[in-house]
Amino acid sequence: MKRSEINRILTDAKTFLAEKQFLLPPWSNWSLSEWRKNREAAQEIIENMLGWDITDFGSGDFYKRGLFLFTIRNGKFNVDKKPYAEKIMIVEENQETPMHYHWLKMEDIINRAGGNLVIELYNSTPDNKFDTTSVHYKKDGVKGAVEAGGKVILTPGESICLEQGMYHRFYGEAEKGKVLVGEVSMVNDDAADNCFYESIGRFPVIEEDEQPVHLLVSDYKKFLLS
């Protein structure tokens, strides 16, 4: 992805978050110089990968297959005591986050505002294939089930609990508008706890055609730790 595209996506996301009155912590607006000034005090942010996160999953087409995320809080296994994480995401109409599951993380996906979120579900087999069995889930604590590959639609205010080993992909329902999506979960480890059905890239390869508006979590090593 070009940095100019990432900057544009990030700027549009900030506008949408403001429209939905979802406020981020003050450090979300730090410039590169402010990051460097506060680098030592902000080690938890850097080490636990809190902050802006934009990916096209290696597709080259963000609006077809991509996701905007901001990790608000997160622990780190065997380092700190925090056992939970929280994210806010923006999902466009028909914008796919591809099929994946987590080995360790259980999560609630929450439709916070906007359009409808469509989630497709499979159980996984021991060799990471799609199982043919029905998928049992809970939506806001209420039991439900769909056949393998079935869809669950979350309208604003609704949430679903996704257990470990449960394959899921999601996208915004067509003609319903973009969706503000929350995630509350156990500790999030994007480096080691994502099992994608296809071989894809989790973080983008960035072409630096302009300066970053804000650092992404995948930028910390390059700009702050090198």
Segment 180-205 shows an average pLDDT of 93
What order of strands is seen across the sheet that includes strand 179-186?
Answer: 51-55, 67-74, 84-91, 179-186, 107-114, 159-162, 135-139, 142-146
When pLDDT is cut at 50, 70 and 90, the band that residue 72 belongs to is very high
Number of structural domains the chain divides into: 1
CATH number, domain of 104, equals: 2.60.120.10
The whole domain housing 9 covers: 3-225
Which one-letter amino acid corresponds to residue 136?
A: H
Query: Percentage of the chain surpassing pLDDT 90?
Result: 93
pLDDT digits (tens, 9 = 90+) for 200-223: 888 888 999 999 999 999 999 999
Average predicted confidence (pLDDT) for the chain: 96
Closest CA to 54 of 188, 222, 214: 214
- pLDDT, tens only, 42-59: 999 999 999 999 999 999
Q: What's the pLDDT tens digit per position in 85-134?
A: 999 999 999 999 999 999 999 999 999 999 999 999 999 999 999 999 99
Cβ-in-10-Å burial (0-12, 13-18, 19+) of 12 comes to middle
For the entire predicted model, the pTM comes to 0.95
The answer to whether residue 226 scores a pLDDT higher than 90 is: no
Those residues with Cβ within 8 angstroms of residue 193's Cβ, 6 or more apart along the chain or in another chain: 102, 103, 104, 105
